[in-house]
Amino acid sequence: MKALYWEGDGFVLLYKKLENGCFQWSQNSQDVKLITPREFSRLLEGLSLNQPKAVKKVYLQKAL
């Protein structure tokens, strides 16, 4: 996988190749989408983006 990241004054080229397995990304060009930094991290770790129960969001309530 190759990715460009803009740092404000120039681009950083990121390159990653999995030794075992493959990246869990759709081969359909219709499935192009924006991903969050957390999803990008999961993708670089070789994990699937389609695991809604893998990471549970926690919402905190303010004390009165």
Whether 42 maps to a domain, the answer reads yes
Report d(CA 26, CA 35) in Å as an integer.
13
What whole-number distance in Å separates Cα of residue 18 and Cα of residue 23? 8
CA distance 22 to 40: 14
> What predicted TM-score, i.e. pTM, was given to this entire model?
0.47
The residue range of the domain holding 53 is 22-64
Q: Where are the beta strands (DSSP E) in the chain?
A: 2-6, 11-15
Q: What is the pLDDT of residue 6?
A: 86
How far, in Å, CA of 2 to CA of 43, rounded? 12
> Which tens digits make up the pLDDT trace of 9-48?
999 998 888 777 777 676 777 777 788 888 878 777 777 7
Into how many domains does the chain fold?
1
Is the pLDDT higher at 21 or at 61?
Answer: 61
In a domain, 1, yes or no: no
Q: Which of 33, 15, 37, 16 is nearest to 25 (CA)?
A: 33
